[in-house]
Structures are given as C-alpha cells and as structure tokens.
Amino acid sequence: MTGPIIIPSSKHQGQVDLSSTNNCLGQVDLWPPKKCLGQVESCEAPKVWRRWPQHLAAVIASLGAMSAGGVLGWSTAVLPYLQESNPSWDGGQPLGRVAAPVTNEQGNWLTSLPYLGAVVGSLFSGDLADCFGRRPFLLGCSIPYLLGWLLIAFTEDCGSPDSKHLVLSSVPHFTSTSRDSNIRSSRVLTPSVRRGSVDVSCSTIPVMLIARFISGLAVGATTTVTPMYIEEIADDHIRGALGVYVDLLLIVGTLCSYIAVAYLSYFWVAVYSASLPLLFLVTFYFMPESPIYLLYKGHKEDAEKALKWLRGSVQGQDDKDIQEDILGLEKLLGEYSVIDTSSILTRILRIPCFLKGVCWSNVRVTSPAGKATFIVTGLMFFQQVCGLDTVITFSVCLLQSSRWRIVYSQYICYVIVTVIQILAVIVSCAVVDRIGRKILLGVSSSSMAVCLAVLSLNSHLNKTSYYSWVLVLVASIYIVAYSVGFGPLPWVLAAEIPPTDEKESIESTANVVSWVLSFIVNQFINNVIGNFGGVVSYGVFGALCVSATVFVAMVVPETKRKPREQIESELGVEN
C-alpha cells in the first residue's frame, strides 16, 4: 500500500480528493509531484487521447528542425552539379552550362559554413529565447532561413534564359572518387550522368557562402531552443518521445532535399527549401508559448491557458488539476527572478554560455550546473565523433561495389540509408519512454563499437568482395544503433538534465560543442583519418564508442518519466 485510499464523493464520482491527500493514487497527471517522487512508476498515466495537443505542438515546433535538415542536406545533393565542368546534352541539345564550376575547396566551405553559422546561432540563442520567449524566438528563426534560400535561389547565372527550367536530374547517378574501396573521407558526390546543369559564375560564390552561413545561424538557434520548448510543454510520460521528434524531422528534411533535387531545378530546389520555414512560420504561430516560460515572466493567466490547451483539459472539469500543476511549476521555479527585458541589449552583448549565466565560479564539477554541463557536453561530443558519416559513406560504396550490384545509383543508396535512419528513429520514439534513455544509449554505443570492430577487422583482412552481404548487414546495424540511441537522445537529455535556472546557458553550451565538432569532422577529421585506411579509422571510432558506453554507464542519469523536480534533486539542486 502506498497510502490511504480516499473514498470518492457522489459529486465527484471516481475522482481523488487531492487537497486531502499527499499520495498519487488516481492522479491524472504526473506533474507536479505531490510528495511521491519515489512512486512515479505507480502513478496512473494520463489518458492517451488527451495527449494529442502536445504531440501536435512538438511536431509543428520540429518543422524548424526539418528546415535545418534541408540546409544540411542541400550540399550533399546539389554540390555535385555545381562542380561539373562539362556541358550537359540531351539528344544533342545543350541543356545548360557551368560558367565557373565550384572547386573542391569552395565545395568544402559550402558544406561546412552552415556548421560555423550554427555555432554562432547556438551561442546567442539561449539568451534571446529568455528575452523574447521560446515561441517568438523560434518564429523569428524563419527569417534567416528564408533569407538564406532567397540568396541561393538567385545565385544562378541569369545569362542562361532556360536555366531556371533545367531539371538537375531525373534519376541522379553518382560515382565514387574514393582512394580506398573500404572507406571514403567525404560524403560529397561526383556526378557521372545527369540531365541538367547549373550556371554559377565566380561572383556568385561569395553570395552562396554568405547564404549558407546565414542559414546556419537559424540551424543552430533552432536546434538549441526547439528541444527546450518541447521539454517544457511535455508531460513526463511522453517527454522522451516528443523530444525525439527533433532528430526525426531533421532527418526527414534531409531526405526531402535528396528527393527534391531528383525532380526540380536548382532554382526550384531553393524555392521548395524556403517553403519549409514558411510552413513552420504559418503553423507554429497558432501554438502556445511554454507555460514554464510564461510563469517565469509572471504571466500566470496565460500560463494556465497554455497548460489547459496542452493537457487537453475539458472546460470546467480539470480546473483544479491545472491549478495544482501551476502551483507545482511555481514551486519548481522557486526563487528564480523574472527576466528584466530592459537589459536585453546587455544580455546579447555579453559572451554567453561560457562566461555568463553558468559562470565559472558556479560550474564546479560537484555543483548541479557543473554536473549537467559535463553530462550534456559529453553526450554531444560522443554523438559527433562516433564515425557515422564514415560508415554511411562506406555502406553506400559497398552497395554499389558488391558482387550482386544491389543498387546501381549512389543517389538511391543515400536515400535508402536515410530511410533506414528514419525508421530507426521512429522505433526510438516508440520505446524511449518505456525502456529509458540510459539503456538505449548504452545499447547504442556498445552495438556501434562491435560493428566498428568488425569493419576494422574486415579492412585488415581485405575480404570485402567475399563477405559483402555481411558487411552490408553490419553497416546497417551500426546505422540503426546510432539512430535509436546516440542520434536523437543527446538532444532529449540536453533539455531534460540542466537545472531550470541554468537550462538556456547549458543547452547553448552543449550545442556550441556539438556544432564545433560537426564543423571539424566535416572540414578536417574525415580527410585526415581517411588517409590512414579502414583499420585505423574504424578502430579509432570503435574506441570512442567504447568510451561512450563507459561514460553512459558511469555518468548519465536515467530521466525516464521523472518529474523535473526529481531530476534536479538528483543533481543536487536544493528546491
């Protein structure tokens, strides 16, 4: 028995008198915790049909991440056409020309600049979201997205009158430029046969670079604030599943970019990509602000309205539960001061993350903020250095070079791999709130380590042609393992673990680390490690995955279905 059972009155048949008991039997919502932190698993879950507003708000908020996926996937899909120097012909008729093909160095910067922009965007997004609100800030992120795609759309040489009607490729076909059949250092593709071409002059390259950087600003800001918003609107029972939507929609955005390039011209690919942030702007406008932020700002009535909508409350029936939730949130916020909007300029001008908010004097290893910073930055570090891009590139090359010629088009190979990622992330979304974050992360990293050990051994034995189907299976298992655990869950934990008063700063710090590592991996590391061959490369990534497994087992806490107050208390926060 967890406590005395309260006999329901005739007026409220089947309900529990929450004002006269501190136990959680019969409770509809798990938040706020009514002195039953150790009994979370025994609490009754909210009705499934009442959770749809939270799912809807999370999906629409994640459309910003889908726009980010479009930005990151654009270079892989479009860059090969920009690097083609020969004219294209169709039945003897020229379809277009490349005035000045993009060089390899320019192509690397077109690929990597969004990551630099994301670093800057992440750096300031926490402060700006605090000043203006999560919802207004995310709506504002549509502006740099739209501006970036507008610049991209009009970098095509206007001297070719039919250029905007050119189809880049009906079925793109690519060839690998790898020096080693077992590993390739870059995911940039080289076109061999295509039906269209793009006019790009030398003067447009700087404009394209600027456009890519501007889009990167929105990518960093979106991926920092969206998980924060979703965590603050989510019920404890489905917080993990809603958080996974960010990674899911980001990968979907990448896949849509690949498909768009197959059937649209350069100009219309940019127009399509611009439609994603526009769709986000139109739909997210109708979503509520985070109730926690509204209480943080002192807008209690607006917080109640937002919470009623998100909880699917029936008018006049759940007012008491909503009031209990509001009181719990106010208790959680405790002594946190209301933001002074008159100091916005001062907050923006200060260097965030590392020198403000979470100041060095507060970030001790044993302090709650220090623990949270160490955990989330560690997860972001291992997310970026586990060798995903290298394995994806290897699997694509393997599908083409296997004895059975499984797939002829490299383009189709990338689409297949991306679809596998999407399906695996959907599985993660379905099980994360049942199995738990820590178990999924541990299984993910250990499985990746085993797969990388097999690939390293194969590179040493050089038996690819004999066991190609085994290697395809191993690479697929690796991609699934990554997408179930270390792909989406670091974003989820980065929003769940930090203390409420330091959340914006810590999450900004984690995202800065993530995007800096992404830039380094895309610009330098893959090229350097690729020169050492598959044995060393897969061995290094495998050792990092083993380290990730140890890190998860010893450092990362489990947050499955735990109220925010309990998560903070386990970090040592005094409420």
Domains of the chain (ranges, CATH numbers): 54-88+96-171+197-288 (1.20.1250.20), 356-575 (1.20.1250.20)
What would the mean pLDDT of 79-106 be, rounded to a whole number?
55
Determine which of 25-39, 294-308, 445-459 has the lowest per-residue pLDDT on average: 25-39
Nearest to 334 by CA among 32, 17, 124: 32
pLDDT value of residue 23:
40
What would the mean pLDDT of 558-574 be, rounded to a whole number?
83
Please, are residues 68 and 223 in contact by the beta-carbon 8 Å criterion? Answer: yes
Confidence of residue 190 (pLDDT cuts 50, 70, 90): very low
Which of 68-72, 178-182, 330-334, 390-394 has the highest mean predicted lDDT (pLDDT)?
A: 68-72
CA dihedral 213, 217, 220, 221 (to 10 degrees): -170
* Amino acid identity at 509: T
The larger pLDDT score, comparing residue 493 to residue 346, is at 493
The larger pLDDT score, comparing residue 203 to residue 172, is at 203
pLDDT value of residue 54:
93
pLDDT value of residue 156:
59
Taking residue 486's Cβ as centre, other Cβ atoms within 10 Å add up to: 24
Where would I find the H helices in 387-532? 388-401, 410-435, 437-461, 468-484, 489-496, 503-520, 526-530
- Return d(Cα 479, Cα 458) in angstroms, integer: 18
- Return d(Cα 151, Cα 209) in angstroms, integer: 10
What would the mean pLDDT of 87-109 be, rounded to a whole number?
54
Answer whether residue 26 shows pLDDT above 90. no
The larger pLDDT score, comparing residue 430 to residue 159, is at 430
Answer whether residue 216 shows pLDDT above 90. yes
* Amino acid identity at 493: L
Confidence of residue 447 (pLDDT cuts 50, 70, 90): very high
Answer whether residue 328 shows pLDDT above 80. no
Answer whether residue 249 shows pLDDT above 90. yes
Structure tokens at 410: 């490299």
Length of the chain: 575
* Amino acid identity at 165: H
Radius of gyration of the chain (CA): 25
Distances (CA, A) of 37 to 42, 286, 534, 558: 10, 34, 49, 14
Answer whether residue 105 shows pLDDT above 50. yes
- In DSSP terms, 191 is beta-bridged to 174
SS3 category, 487: coil
pLDDT value of residue 352:
44
SS3 category, 336: coil
Answer whether residue 85 shows pLDDT above 70. no
Q: What is the pLDDT of residues 124-149, one digit of tens each?
A: 898 889 889 999 999 999 999 999 99
Which of 20-29, 163-172, 271-280, 453-462 has the highest mean predicted lDDT (pLDDT)?
A: 271-280
- In DSSP terms, 90 is beta-bridged to 93
Name the average pLDDT for the chain: 76
Q: What is the pLDDT of residues 160-186, one digit of tens each?
A: 434 443 444 434 443 333 333 333 333
- Return d(Cα 505, Cα 352) in angstroms, integer: 7
What would the mean pLDDT of 545-569 be, rounded to a whole number?
91
Q: What is the pLDDT of residues 491-542, one digit of tens each?
A: 999 999 998 878 888 888 899 999 999 888 877 765 666 677 778 888 889 9
Please, are residues 353 and 330 in contact by the beta-carbon 8 Å criterion? Answer: no
Confidence of residue 47 (pLDDT cuts 50, 70, 90): low
